[in-house]
Amino acid sequence: MKNNEIIKGIIISIFDAFKRGDTKEIEKHLHEEASVWDVFTPYMITGKKNLEEFHSRDQTQKKSRGDLSIELEEPKIREWNDFAIATYYLEFTYLEPNALKGKVRITDLFVLEKDQWKIMHHHEGLVPED
């Protein structure tokens, strides 16, 4: 399987796991020293312990809302030696209660470590409506 297909599969599996509430599946794709700038969190989350706590809180906010649908646009993946960058858009819709929807632009920095692609940094930002 080509690296681009592997990386795309990781991205899809992470968002599928988020919808299922499977934080362990998400965390297995993160580097030990990964960092995340989440669209709903005002500060950067860094390191395994902090990311585990964040994923627990993130699931709590998800459970406070109605059903979630996520649509991913095709990621653009560029690779250099042991690094890759994936950029893509995601549209999300939470139904009532606490309905919310938006479009997010995402950048994931991957590093190849021990023959496995791991996310070193995940960055989300809301796309302005206009």
Residue 129 has pLDDT above 90, yes or no: no
Q: Give residue 20's pLDDT.
A: 95
Averaged pLDDT, 84-96: 98
Residue 106 has pLDDT above 90, yes or no: yes
CATH number of the domain enclosing 101: 3.10.450.50
> 130 to each of 57, 103, 116, how far by Cα in Å?
30, 12, 39
Q: Number of structural domains, the chain?
A: 1
pTM for this prediction: 0.94
Contact assessment for residue 90 and residue 58, using Cβ atoms and an 8 Å cutoff: no
Which domain, by its residues, includes 21? 3-126
Contact assessment for residue 32 and residue 83, using Cβ atoms and an 8 Å cutoff: no
